[in-house]
Amino acid sequence: MPKKQYQVYVIELSKRVFTESAKFRNANPQFNGVLQCLYVGMTSKTPRERFKQHKTGYRNKKGHKLSSNIVEKYGMYLRPSLYNHIAPMSTRSEAIKMEEKLALELRRQRYAVWFN
């Protein structure tokens, strides 16, 4: 059985998220409106499968919602050019750290970014 691998991914969000969500706005005081609004996540699925789960409000077998409300409402498409350079990771903890690292790096570049 192949070993599970984790990937980080980036989804572009509609800029409406910045005007409509105080939570998002407060997390991104550096944003000047020039670049895009983004969501950074990590998954053991393919980024395409995970994006589809977000957009459909996916719930697991126990009924727990596994999708982000921000992506479900404002997600537009994947941005592979922002994450394809990152190799898959073998542990969930590595992927969580990489998710945060990528999100903070994108914020430093003046993107507005949401991550968990």
The pLDDT value recorded for residue 49 is 96
pLDDT digits over 64-74, tens only? 998 999 999 99
Regions of the chain with pLDDT less than 50: none
Cβ(103)–Cβ(113) below 8 Å: yes
Query: Is the dihedral angle over the CA atoms 13, 76, 94, 82 positive or is it negative?
Result: negative
Q: Are 7 and 89 in contact (CB under 8 A)?
A: yes
**Which pLDDT value is given to residue 3?**
80
Predicted pLDDT of residue 13: 98
pTM for the model stands at 0.94
